[in-house]
């Protein structure tokens, strides 16, 4: 039971991890991208569309495993990249307000996901309001062959599909790049004070574009993981829910550090599904709703405490949310 809980918590945490890693990279460049929930929807549905086309064109029995992974992966990356570019053009080049742009992107992305999801559902004409891509999903969920021979250790550490490890590696690499390399230093400089970075000869716009687009792509993978792995290849509208916002919350929880975000995501994943495992004697199903509140409350407490302690390294990037205009220094 405990092992199963930890497994489920980790699987639940992966979309959050990818989303929050993407958002951290974006925020380090000084851009508060509130479009992440929409981007994750688009990443998810683009993958679904890609694999749907591939599955229907060759038939679910004779999928080529490499193509079956590559096609959804590439279409997901493409989808979220386009979203990231829209955000960049508006906020970096056209200097639009980031909050407004992000929210519009979320409206658009969620609408895009549900629209094409709904259209595909209508296309297959199934009785359930969902699309099932089990064949592709099975390939995505292939695990290491020796995992079940290792007992509890195998269950805890080796029983996941490749995207889980990819997510953790991305977070670790991102953390390393941000804190240990010159590129990371430049990126942080851009987020803290773009004018200073500019004066130091750093190409501010290039860093902003790269970081935001890369962040979007990583977040989009979270959406892909959700539908292909966690949901067993079943897309139904709105199933992804508020996970995107939770990913934004984890950024705060992790104090803008991707490696803490790994722990944060698994913790939040656990909190997210806790209500399935905890039963309060004498309470009805309504108590579940209070359990679902816990992740948000925890985030708030972290947010309040970090601002109260006011340690400089735990603060959001200083120019977060502000556009940079060279001539205005």
Partner 1 sequence: MRFHIVKRDQLVWWKSWGVRILSVIVGLLVSALVTVVLTGDNPIQVFATMVDGAFGTERRLWTLGQGIAILLCISLAVTPAFKMRFWNIGAEGQALMGGFAAATCMLFLGDKMPTGILLCVIAVSSILAGAIWALIPAYFKARFGTNETLFTLMMNYIAIQIISFFVYKWSNPVGSGKIGVINPDTRAGWFPIIAGKTYLLNILIVAVLTIAMFIYLKYSKHGYEIAVVGESENTARYIGIDVKRVILRTMFLSGALCGITGFLLVCGTDHTITRETIAGRGFTAIMVSWLAKFNPIFMIITSFLLVFFEKGATQISTQFGLNDSFSEIITGIIIFFIIGSEFFLNYKLKRDEKKGVAK
Q: Which residues of the chain form contacts with partner 1 (CB under 8 A)?
A: 32, 34, 86, 89-90, 93-97, 99-101, 103-115, 118-119, 122, 237, 242, 245, 248-249, 252, 284-287, 289-290, 292-293, 296-297, 299-300, 303-304, 307-308, 310, 316, 321, 325, 327-328
Among residues 140 and 324, whose Cβ is nearest to partner 1? 324
**CB 250, min distance to partner 1, A:** 11
For helices 2-28 and 162-180, the axis angle rounded to 10 degrees is: 40
Pairing of strands 234-235, 131-132: antiparallel
76: left (phi over 0), alpha (psi -120 to 50) or beta: alpha
Q: Cβ contacts of residue 54 below 8 Å, gap of 6+?
A: 63, 67, 68, 71, 72, 136
Among residues 26 and 106, whose Cβ is nearest to partner 1? 106
Q: Which DSSP symbol is given to 316?
A: P
Among residues 130 and 237, whose Cβ is nearest to partner 1? 237
Among residues 1 and 308, whose Cβ is nearest to partner 1? 308
Q: In whole angstroms, how far apart are CA 233 and each of 15, 33, 293?
A: 14, 27, 27
**CB 299, min distance to partner 1, A:** 5
Among residues 2 and 286, whose Cβ is nearest to partner 1? 286
**CB 25, min distance to partner 1, A:** 17
**CB 173, min distance to partner 1, A:** 25
Quickly list DSSP for 268-283.
HHHHHHGGGT---TT-
By the 8 A CB rule, do 25 and 175 touch?
Answer: no
**CB 40, min distance to partner 1, A:** 15
Element (H, E) at 250: helix 243-253
Quickly list DSSP for 205-221.
HHHHHHHHHHHHHHHHH
Q: In whole angstroms, how far apart are CA 2 and each of 8, 15, 113, 217, 284?
A: 10, 21, 34, 33, 23
By the 8 A CB rule, do 208 and 190 touch?
Answer: yes
**CB 287, min distance to partner 1, A:** 8
Among residues 105 and 163, whose Cβ is nearest to partner 1? 105
**CB 169, min distance to partner 1, A:** 27
Q: Which DSSP symbol is given to 327?
A: G
Among residues 144 and 322, whose Cβ is nearest to partner 1? 322
**CB 194, min distance to partner 1, A:** 15
Among residues 35 and 258, whose Cβ is nearest to partner 1? 35
Please give the Cα distance from 262 to 202 (Å, whole number). Answer: 30
């Amino acid at each position: 039971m405990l092992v199963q809980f930890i497994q489920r918590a980790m699987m639940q945490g992966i979309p959050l991890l990818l989303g929050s890693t993407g958002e951290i990279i974006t925020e380090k460049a000084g851009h508060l991208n509130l479009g992440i929930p929409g981007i994750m929807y688009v990443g998810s549905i683009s993958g679904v569309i890609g694999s749907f086309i591939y599955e229907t064109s060759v038939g679910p029995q004779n999928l080529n495993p490499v193509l079956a992974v590559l096609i959804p992966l590439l279409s997901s990356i493409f989808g979220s990249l386009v979203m990231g570019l829209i955000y960049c053009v508006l906020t970096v080049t056209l200097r639009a307000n980031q909050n407004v742009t992000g929210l519009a992107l979320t409206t658009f992305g969620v609408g895009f996901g549900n629209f094409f999801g709904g259209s595909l559902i209508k296309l297959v004409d199934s009785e359930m309001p969902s699309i099932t891509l089990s064949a592709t999903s099975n390939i995505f969920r292939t695990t290491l062959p020796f995992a079940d021979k290792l007992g509890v250790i195998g269950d805890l550490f080796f029983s996941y599909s490749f995207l889980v490890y990819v997510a953790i590696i991305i977070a670790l690499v991102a953390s390393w790049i941000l804190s240990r390399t010159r590129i990371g230093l430049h990126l942080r400089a851009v987020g803290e004070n773009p004018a200073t970075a500019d004066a130091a000869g750093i190409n501010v716009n290039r860093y902003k574009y790269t970081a935001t687009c890369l962040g979007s792509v990583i977040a989009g993978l979270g959406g892909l993981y959700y539908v292909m792995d966690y949901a067993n290849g079943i897309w139904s509208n709105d199933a992804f829910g508020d996970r995107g916002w939770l990913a934004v919350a984890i950024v705060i929880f992790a104090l803008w550090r991707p490696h803490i975000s790994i722990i944060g995501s698994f913790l939040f994943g656990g909190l997210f599904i806790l209500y399935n495992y905890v039963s309060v004697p004498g309470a009805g199903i309504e108590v579940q709703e209070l359990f679902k509140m816990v992740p948000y409350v925890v985030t708030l407490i972290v947010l309040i405490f970090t601002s109260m302690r006011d340690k400089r390294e735990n603060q959001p990037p200083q120019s977060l949310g502000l556009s940079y205009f060279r001539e205005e220094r």
